[in-house]
Amino acid sequence: MEYRILGTSGLKVSVLSLGTMTFGEQNTQAEAEAQLDLALEQGVNLIDTAEMYPVPPRAETQGASERFIGAWLKRRGRDQVVLATKVAGPARGLRWLRGGPRLSAAHIRQALEDSLRRLNTDYVDLYQLHWPDRYVPMFGESLYEESRDRETVSIHEQLETLAALVHEGKIRQLGLSNETPWGVCRFVRLAEEHGLPRVASVQNAYHLLNRSIETGGLAEVAHREQVPVLAYSPLAFGWLSGKYHDAPDAPGRVNLFRDFARRYHKPCVHPATEEYVRLARDAGLEPARMAIAFAASRPFVASVIVGATSIGQLSSNLAAARLKLPADLLHAIDDVHLRYPNPAP
């Protein structure tokens, strides 16, 4: 397993990390712990979760993913992992979570304390803002509409709250998620101006069906500001594994949670996927491994977050850590991208 330094933080993270959004919805406690054991044995040290997980978020299951990890940590030991979790903001409209989550001081502090309790730890290595408090287009939206702007908790206030929690030893490093290039730059600038903690990473979707990080400016920001990407959804909800290409009604999140996966039902998703699956199979590769290895090959990516609902899937996905794609295959991937640019942003 390759390890990379997370920006300027000094944290060393595995190039593949384990996502846990299925824990408590599609995976039981025993299945979750088996996945965690396997990931650790394969060299994964970064475990990523969130207060709202599992997905899709529901009041009845909220926090289950963290509780499953917390039970595992009591058995395996806290010092073996880089533990990352997230605080939810208002974008998902989760009225049952803290009466409607915001990124104010009171909300951030309560969310962190609750996460620490569920995780059976007194600190997290990377605490991420799950999405901005302000309005930005996301979850498949592509156009910014300034008329949708709303009253927001200032980024400066958010940083001051997080700085206090760093000072108290409850957070080691700060991270962003589902953030824009403007947002990342604003966080970096305010930290520099006011002597506040610097963000170490930004966790955004990145995969063969959504390479907008490269074209929308975030790749340059990641490089110049030293805020690398934690790439989530490298298989595009399973599309890039090829299973929906082979069997459109196959069980999986695309079909189980159609409302949550709307971006993956857009018109060009299917033909683009067909091309990527064909490329992988012509090269003698599992499509999922090719997709994960592609994301890991990008210079702006620090770690690729992989998830699974079975040990077999996870084992196969983790094998991508040893795969280096040849130049001719990378060129062929770019050719498909030119024909079908970002069909599932």
The alpha carbon of residue 212 and the mean position of all alpha carbons in its chain are separated, in whole angstroms, by 15
Distance, in Å, from the CA atom of 108 to the CA atom of 89, rounded to the nearest integer, reads: 9
User: DSSP assignment, residue 168?
Assistant: T
Strand 46-48 and strand 229-232: pairing?
Answer: unpaired
Cβ neighbours of residue 68 closer than 8 Å, sequence gap 6 or more: 20, 23, 24, 27, 29, 32, 33
In the block, residue with structure tokens 């210079």: 299
3-class secondary structure, 242: coil
In 3D, which of 88, 85, 86, 104 has the Cα closest to residue 96? 88
Residue 192 has a CB neighbour count (10 Å cut-off) of 10
Q: Is 53 assigned a catalytic role?
A: yes
What values do phi and psi take at 9, rounded to 5? Answer: -80, -25
Residue 161 · residue 106 · CB < 8 Å: no
Cβ neighbours of residue 234 closer than 8 Å, sequence gap 6 or more: 206, 207, 240, 291, 292, 295, 304, 305, 306
- Cis bond leading into 228, ω under 30°? no
In the block, residue with structure tokens 């605490």: 127
Residue 216 · residue 206 · CB < 8 Å: no
Residue 37 · residue 314 · CB < 8 Å: no
Residue type present at position 136: V
Q: Which of 3, 53, 144, 232 is catalytic?
A: 53
Q: Which two tokens stand for residue 1?
A: 């397993």
Give catalytic residue positions: 53
